[in-house]
Structure 1
Amino acid sequence: MSPDLSTTTDAHRAAMVEGLEADGVLTDVRLREALLSVPREVLLPHAYVRVSDAGVEPIEWRLLDGAHPDDRAEWLDLIHSGESVLLQRDGESLDALVRGPVAGGNMTSMSTYGQATVEALQTLQLAPGQRYLELGPGPGVSLALAASVTGPRLAVGVEQDSRMVAFAQHNLDRIGLGATVVEGDALGGHPAGGVFDRIHSGIGVPCVPPAWAEQLAPGGRLLTTLTTHTPSWPGQLLAARTEAGEIEAVLRGRPRGYRPMLGYRWLNAVPMRPRIKADPGAPRPTRLAPPPDDAYGFWLAAAYLAPGLVRDFQAETMTIAAPDEHSWAVAGPGEDTVRVHGPRDVWAELEDVHARWVLAGRPDAYRVTMPEGGGPQHVASGTGLRTLTWVLPPLAPVPNQLLAPCPTEHRTEKAL
């Protein structure tokens, strides 16, 4: 790297850190030093930028090559912006990409947006000497940051895509932090077994795979996204194994989460936009004004207790659809009216969940019971007759996933 580029990247990292601190996101001193020292430009040497608008098919992309002088300024800004960096289409080889326009395909690997990475690593409370396991590390940005804190040969990632394994390991070796990536099914934990003090999953899962819990050391912490079939209201699960060997887990709603594991079916409201716009539905009075976006405890409960719903966050007013039932609800006009369409009264279900959430004390966190050796994973807001409860769904069989699903008692009707 030339001296001029090195100075430029140092300035970009400093500005990135300054922004994270100003926003109140970054508070950990060790992680701050890692963010200043880990060269993101080595781990993210290229980036795809979407050119076409949402809903346009085939998607039009432009590949930025960080080594090309015409792309360098835009590329540097992007990889230090805190936004997710798109790296791979349809599992393609990463050693012979050509810069410029390209059409079609879907992204199969990307870096996590910066704020989420910082929040996750801070939640894990990283410290020197800890054994760190990352499940689905992708290009290895968070793995490199963790290795910078824990020390050499203590941080390892498990990645299913052999091409991404080779890509990430090559770039990590250039940095020289002693982090490694091995090929394997992340749902099975580290293929060689062992125990780890900190486990972080970069993929969303419907329940915690038994192998993850088995590989969590006493005093250890495990962090993952719990995903339903809606991308709208993800949950973040933090599990800790006590020194006595028991696992205590808490689930909280979050504004964003990691993408689900390969083959997981996500609901999508975008194809319904023309129909909703043409016929938003019949207006009726409602006792529920549109709940605020940051009522995460409510929206998380709705993801499980009113399953099959997805929100269109680009709509002018709150719009929530049930694609499989060709039904939707559009809030307004005003706070005491809603328009509903289709055989499923989407808004009535949300009214019911909200009323139960209020009676339960408006919880923003839920306790998760994870039996040793596997078994149904139960969620509860507390104790008593007004407690909100449900059971996490299983790991569904999907392509290239050979791990046995978690046994479960999940039902589609509302839990009592």
Structure 2
Amino acid sequence: MSADLSPTSGTRRVAMVERLEAEGALTDVRLREALLSVPREVLLPHAYVRVSDPGVEPIEWRLLDGAHPDDRAEWLDLIHSGDSVLLQRDGEQLDALRRGPVAGGHMTSMSTYGQATVEALQTLRLAPGQRYLELGPGPGVSLALAAAVTGPRLAVGVERDGRMVAFAQRNLDRLGLGATVVEGDALNGHPAGGVFDRIHSGIGVPCVPPGWAEQLAPGGRLLTTLTTRTPSWPGQLLVTRTGAGEIEAVLRGRPRGYRPMLGYRWLNAVTLRPRIEAAPGVPRPTRLAPPPDDAYGFWLAAAYLAPGLVRDFQAETMTIAAPDEDSWAVAGPGEHTVRVHGPRDVWAELEDVHARWVLAGRPDTYRVTMPEGGGPQHVDSGTGLHALTWVLPPLAPVPHQPVGSRPSEYHTEKAL
């Protein structure tokens, strides 16, 4: 498959940038120029489109080939839409894909939601001359954008999937930006070691691997997603190393985040949906009105202090389930009623966390203490009597991806 570099693609690129600016997502001048100059169609020469509904197995897909005239318009619209672009099923080879209908399999690689990429790179404050490390770059979209800002031979990615390494490097070489991708375990950082001024993780982790902090240069910034077993309320962690070499880390809730590494088992409310709709539960009064979606500090705390919960964002009213305990809570009818089902009172736990969050001062950010050389990473909202605290779960070994296994997918606030 070869990409279309016609003026039509340039027009869509300009429209994409203008949309990001109009939404208030794009403010950095250097990144704006990078978005205009890097042709996404080289890095994303094909795309899968899901045809079947969620929960239907086997999944039905349609592969768009950017070089085929019947697919070109839809493909160009998709890769410039800002949506995550699905690229690889079950770790498949990427150099001989056939367009058209495909059945079965699950996505093992995709590009990141466009606004999330912009937000991440702007948070890192990229500048020319910085050494940049991308952990889990996939097809290399954010790596290419970073290379366009930092300059040639300063941006490198570490990717676990050897087939994706070859695919991304071949496409990056066509762009001539001097960006490279090496095969390795991203949880260990760059396999050759070294230090970097900016580190961006395109994978979610339960805590920060020690190797990442060790490779962060003085004055450097590291950005990653912290994941729990719920995909509903991710946290974004910004780690900085001061000029004196000390580590400082701030965690905040976000509406979206990166997927975890392969082998990570996420909770899912989709399978419970028919039962919840048929029997929402026993109504009872509640002192807690459904918290707003943008109360990110509360929802992040709930992910840790009321673990094992997942939200069905497609439900008509707020619906939160504990799949492992066959329990759920459905807000309403009315502002002062909730319906509950199962042995675990999901809503009572949320009431308790919310009360504690209010006493703590409704924090929207949390401090993470990361001991040098490893050890448990502690989170707190402050030092007062009512401060919220918890310990981040440890890293777990990541198995190699067997053909046919299912990874967690990239999460947005409407994913479940």
- Per the TM superposition, whether the score is higher than 0.5 is yes
Residues 6 and 338 (structure 1), Cα distance of their counterparts in 2 relative to 1, 3 Å cut: same
Q: Distance in 2 between matches of 1:315 and 1:3?
A: 39
State the match for 2:293 in structure 1: 293
State the match for 1:29 in structure 2: 29
1:349 aligned counterpart, secondary structure? helix
2:8 aligned counterpart, secondary structure? helix
Q: Residues 58-207 of structure 1 correspond to what in structure 2 (within 5 A)?
A: 58-207=58-207
1:58 aligned counterpart, secondary structure? coil
Q: Distance in 2 between matches of 1:355 and 1:27?
A: 37
1:129 aligned counterpart, secondary structure? coil
Deviation at 1:177, TM superposition (A): 0.1
Q: Distance in 1 between matches of 2:192 and 2:3?
A: 42
Q: Distance in 1 between matches of 2:327 and 2:15?
A: 46
**Which of structure 1's runs of 4+ aligned residues deviate more than 3 A?**
1-5
State the match for 1:358 in structure 2: 358
Q: Residues 328-367 of structure 1 correspond to what in structure 2 (within 5 A)?
A: 328-367=328-367
State the match for 2:306 in structure 1: 306
The question of whether the paired residues in 1 share the 8 Å contact of 2:4 and 2:66 is answered with: no
State the match for 1:235 in structure 2: 235
- Code of the aligned partner of 2:304: Y
Deviation at 1:262, TM superposition (A): 1.1
Residues 40 and 372 (structure 1), Cα distance of their counterparts in 2 relative to 1, 3 Å cut: same
Deviation readout 1:186-216 (Å, 9 max, x if unpaired): 0000000000000000000000000000000
Q: Distance in 2 between matches of 1:346 and 1:84?
A: 32
2:393 aligned counterpart, secondary structure? coil
Deviation at 1:3, TM superposition (A): 13
- Code of the aligned partner of 1:10: G
TM-score (norm 1): 0.95
Deviation readout 1:246-302 (Å, 9 max, x if unpaired): 010000000000001110010000001111112111000000000000000000000
Q: Distance in 2 between matches of 1:2 and 1:273?
A: 42
State the match for 2:383 in structure 1: 383
The question of whether the paired residues in 1 share the 8 Å contact of 2:263 and 2:398 is answered with: yes
Deviation at 1:10, TM superposition (A): 1.0
Residues 245 and 311 (structure 1), Cα distance of their counterparts in 2 relative to 1, 3 Å cut: same
1:109 aligned counterpart, secondary structure? strand
1:276 aligned counterpart, secondary structure? helix
Q: Distance in 1 between matches of 2:64 and 2:378?
A: 45
Deviation at 1:53, TM superposition (A): 1.1
Deviation at 1:397, TM superposition (A): 2.5
2:271 aligned counterpart, secondary structure? helix
Q: Distance in 2 between matches of 1:278 and 1:384?
A: 45
Q: Distance in 2 between matches of 1:342 and 1:7?
A: 58
Q: Distance in 2 between matches of 1:109 and 1:398?
A: 16
Which consecutive residues of structure 2, in runs of 5 or more, have no partner in the other structure?
A: 402-416
Q: Distance in 1 between matches of 2:338 and 2:241?
A: 45
Residues 2 and 142 (structure 1), Cα distance of their counterparts in 2 relative to 1, 3 Å cut: closer
Residues 261 and 2 (structure 1), Cα distance of their counterparts in 2 relative to 1, 3 Å cut: closer
State the match for 1:369 in structure 2: 369
Q: Distance in 2 between matches of 1:260 and 1:244?
A: 32
1:69 aligned counterpart, secondary structure? coil
Residues 352 and 41 (structure 1), Cα distance of their counterparts in 2 relative to 1, 3 Å cut: same
RMSD: 1.4
**Greater length-normalized contact order (CA 8 Å, ≥ 6 residues apart):** 2
Deviation at 1:5, TM superposition (A): 4.5
Q: Distance in 2 between matches of 1:122 and 1:133?
A: 15
Q: Distance in 2 between matches of 1:357 and 1:38?
A: 44
- Code of the aligned partner of 2:101: P
Residues 3 and 46 (structure 1), Cα distance of their counterparts in 2 relative to 1, 3 Å cut: closer
Q: Distance in 2 between matches of 1:116 and 1:278?
A: 36
Which consecutive residues of structure 1, in runs of 5 or more, have no partner in the other structure?
A: 402-416
The question of whether the paired residues in 1 share the 8 Å contact of 2:136 and 2:186 is answered with: yes
State the match for 1:16 in structure 2: 16
2:329 aligned counterpart, secondary structure? strand
Q: Distance in 1 between matches of 2:148 and 2:6?
A: 19
- Code of the aligned partner of 2:166: A
Q: How many correspondences in the alignment?
A: 401
State the match for 2:413 in structure 1: none
Deviation at 1:6, TM superposition (A): 2.3
Q: Distance in 2 between matches of 1:279 and 1:333?
A: 14
Q: Distance in 2 between matches of 1:377 and 1:17?
A: 38
TM-score (norm 2): 0.95
Deviation readout 1:157-188 (Å, 9 max, x if unpaired): 00000000000000000000000000000000
1:368 aligned counterpart, secondary structure? strand
Q: Distance in 2 between matches of 1:37 and 1:278?
A: 52
